[in-house]
């Protein structure tokens, strides 16, 4: 699914037959990412239910057409040359709260906004996902990346994820099968053929005043520390025992800009699109920040954001900063 294989002309006809006028061709992806950067997908299909997502994925596997599922595009950087093959834009948003003998749970389709699901829990006085009210993106993206903030993360709250893979029935995976790690899961590491259709999270009966107060406190904290503007959140993972933002700031890089992208002067791990940025601009800024941090502190910063599409080989070859210590 993740390989960027060029679609052959005969496949275009096959795709048109399979998806009719729902199929969009040569679609600029910047509009579907939070940083508003990125070239076109060869093809794009919007899905509005879990069943629709499953049917589309199965059809594409059958046709051997490579595809990627895109949620809110808040953790990806799309190359200027775009994405070869199909992008499925996931807008499957059904949400259901369930009371069981064990307590409360919420199940949501993978295209549901994770923060909207968490807010609904808060409004029902159900605790456990208050931290998630501050995170952009969909439930599917959160499961793949083990999203987290303020001491909470998907790994702690997830009960089950509905996972689709080629040639087998849809399965319910308990959290341990996803092998979560810091901002990562088996699905992210494998870069393989798996689609998240939905996910179920554990909640606890609390009280509306309490859950609301916690949510509001976290939202306030976020407003004070994180910049507005088009970004993809943290560009780099925090290295063990430190913060990427602190390292970039201490290398003197706050406010540095290349082309249309600027390192935020409020939070140095946020790179802001000032309006006309390209993926090439942000790549140059990433490389500059990595190199300067490596020179300044000896730390190699790893990307948190995921590169999507066909990146110049020179970009990928430059993944390792020069002359830095392990």
Ligand X SMILES: Cc1cc2nc3c(=O)[nH]c(=O)nc-3n(C[C@H](O)[C@H](O)[C@H](O)COP(=O)(O)OP(=O)(O)OC[C@H]3O[C@@H](n4cnc5c(N)ncnc54)[C@H](O)[C@@H]3O)c2cc1C
Residues that bind ligand X (CB under 6 A): 34, 68-76, 90, 110, 135-138, 140-142, 144-145, 147-149, 183, 195-196, 231-233, 306
Question: Residue 6 Cβ, how far from ligand X at the closest point, in Å?
Answer: 19
Pairing between β-strand 83-90 and β-strand 40-47 as defined by DSSP bridges:
parallel
The catalytic residue among 105, 109, 262, 304 is 304
Choosing from 84, 119, 183, 200, the catalytic residue is: 183
**Distance between CA atoms of 107 and 280, rounded to whole angstroms?**
39
CA distance 14 to 289: 44
Q: Are 211 and 121 in contact (CB under 8 A)?
A: yes
Task: Provide the minimum distance between the beta carbon of 87 and ligand X in the complex, in angstroms, as a whole number.
Answer: 9
Measured from the CB atom, the residue of 232 and 256 that comes closer to ligand X is 232
Question: In angstroms, what is the minimal distance from the CB of 276 to ligand X?
Answer: 19
CB of 37 to ligand X, least distance (A): 12
- DSSP for 134-186, please give it: G--SBHHHHHHHT-EETTEEHHHHEEEEEEE-TTS--EEEEGGGG--BTTB-H
The single residue of 231, 234, 264, 297 carrying the catalytic annotation is 234
Q: Closer CB to ligand X, residue 16 or residue 59?
A: 59
The residue among 244 and 294 lying less far from ligand X, judged by its C-beta, is: 244
Report yes or no: 255 and 263 within 8 Å, Cβ to Cβ: yes
Question: Would you tell me how many other CB atoms lie within 10 Å of the CB of residue 19?
Answer: 17
Of the candidates 109, 68, 85, 99, the residue with the CA atom closest to the CA atom of residue 26: 85
Residue 202 annotated in active site: no
Asked whether 108 and 94 are in contact (CB, 8 A), the reply is: yes
How far is Cα 66 from Cα 260, in angstroms, rounded to an integer? Answer: 31
Q: Which is nearer to ligand X, 174 or 192 (CB)?
A: 192
Query: What's the min distance (Å) between Cβ of 52 and ligand X?
Result: 12
C-alpha 159/C-alpha 227 separation (Å) is 32
Shortest distance (Å) from residue 141 CB to ligand X: 2
Q: Which is nearer to ligand X, 118 or 253 (CB)?
A: 118
Report residue 52: phi and psi, to 5°.
-65, -45
Q: Among this protein's residues, is 234 annotated catalytic? A: yes
Cα 258 to the center of its chain, rounded Å: 24
115 carries an active-site annotation: no
Smallest distance from the beta carbon of 9 to ligand X, in angstroms?
Answer: 26
Which one, 111 or 321, has the nearer CB to ligand X?
A: 111
d(CA 225, CA 236): 16
Judged by CB, which is closer to ligand X: 18, or 163?
163
H helices within the chain, ranges in order? 9-19, 50-63, 114-123, 139-145, 154-157, 186-190, 208-225, 244-250, 279-297, 313-317
Catalytic residues: 183, 234, 304
């Amino acid at each position: 699914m993740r390989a960027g294989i060029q679609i052959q002309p005969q496949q275009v006809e096959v795709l048109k037959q399979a998806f009719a006028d729902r199929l969009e061709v040569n679609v600029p992806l910047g509009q579907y990412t939070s940083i508003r950067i990125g070239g076109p997908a060869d093809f794009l299909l919007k899905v509005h239910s879990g069943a629709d997502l499953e049917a589309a994925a199965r059809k594409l596997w059958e046709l051997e057409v490579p595809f990627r599922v895109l949620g809110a595009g808040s953790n990806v950087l799309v190359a200027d040359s775009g994405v070869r093959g199909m992008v499925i834009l996931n807008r499957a948003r059904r949400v259901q709260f369930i009371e069981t003998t064990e307590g409360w749970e919420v199940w949501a389709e993978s295209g549901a906004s994770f923060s909207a699901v968490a807010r609904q829990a808060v409004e029902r006085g159900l605790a456990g996902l208050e931290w998630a009210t501050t995170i952009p993106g969909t439930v599917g993206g959160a499961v793949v990346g083990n999203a987290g903030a303020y001491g909470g993360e998907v790994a702690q709250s997830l009960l089950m994820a509905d996972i689709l893979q080629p040639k087998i029935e849809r399965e319910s995976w308990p959290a341990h099968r996803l092998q979560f790690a810091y901002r990562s899961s088996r699905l992210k590491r494998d870069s393989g053929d798996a689609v998240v259709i939905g996910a179920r999270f554990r909640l606890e009966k609390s009280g509306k005043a309490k859950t609301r107060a916690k949510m509001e406190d976290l939202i306030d904290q976020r407003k004070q520390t994180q910049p507005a503007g088009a970004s993809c959140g943290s560009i780099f993972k925090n290295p063990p025992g430190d913060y990427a933002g602190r390292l970039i700031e201490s290398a003197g890089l706050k406010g540095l800009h290349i082309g249309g992208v600027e390192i935020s002067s409020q939070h140095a791990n946020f790179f802001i699109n000032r309006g006309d940025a390209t993926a090439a601009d942000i790549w140059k800024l990433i490389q500059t920040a990595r190199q300067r941090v490596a020179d300044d502190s000896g730390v190699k910063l790893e990307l948190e954001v995921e590169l999507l599409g066909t990146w110049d080989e020179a970009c990928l070859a430059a993944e390792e900063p020069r002359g830095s210590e392990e």
